[in-house]
Structure 1
Amino acid sequence: MKLPINQLLYVAIAGLLGGSAWQFYETWKEIRKEDARAEQRQREASDTCKLRLEKGRSLNVVSKGPNYAENQPWDHFKDANLIGKLPPPPPKPIDPEEQKKPEKPPETPLEDICAIVCLVFQEDQSMAILRYQETSNVEPPEEILEAFSPPDTVTPTPRTNNKNRRNAGKVKTARPIARAMPTTRVGGFVQTLRLEDNLWPPYDHIKLVAIDGYAEFAEFSRTAEDGSESAPERLYRDELGLSQAVMERLHEEGYTRGSKPRSVNPETSPEEIPEGLFGIWAGGDDTKRINGDFHIGRREWKDWNEDSNRIFNRELQTKSYSGRNGVSGVQITKVSERFQQFGVQAGDVIVSVNGEPVRSKAQAITVGKRLYKRGVRTFNVVFLSRGAEVTRTYVAPDQGR
Structure 2
Amino acid sequence: MTEITPIPLRELTTLRTGGAPERMREAATAAELIAELQTVWAAGDEWFVLGGGSNLFAGDAGFEGTVIRVLTRGIEELPSPHDGRVRLRVQAGHDWDHLVAYAVERGYAGIEAMSGIPGTVGAAPVQNVGAYGQEIQETLVEVELIDEYAESPVIVPASELALGFRTSVLKHHYGGVPQRRAVILSVTLDLAVTDGTRVVRGEQLRRALGLEDASAVPLAWVRSTILSTRAQKGMLLNPDDPDTASAGSFFQNAIVPESVARTLPAECPRWPVTPDLDAVTVIPLSGFTGAVPPLAAAQADVKVSAAWLIEHSGIRKGFKLPRSRAGVSTKHALALTNRGGATAAEVSELARFIQSRVHAEYGLLLQPEPVLVEVEL
Q: TM-score, normalised by structure 2?
A: 0.24
Give 1 or 2: higher helix fraction: 1
> Which structure has the larger Rg over C-alpha atoms?
1
Bigger relative contact order, structure 1 or 2 (CA pairs below 8 A, ≥6 apart): 2
Higher strand share: 2
Tell me the TM-score normalized by structure 1. Answer: 0.23
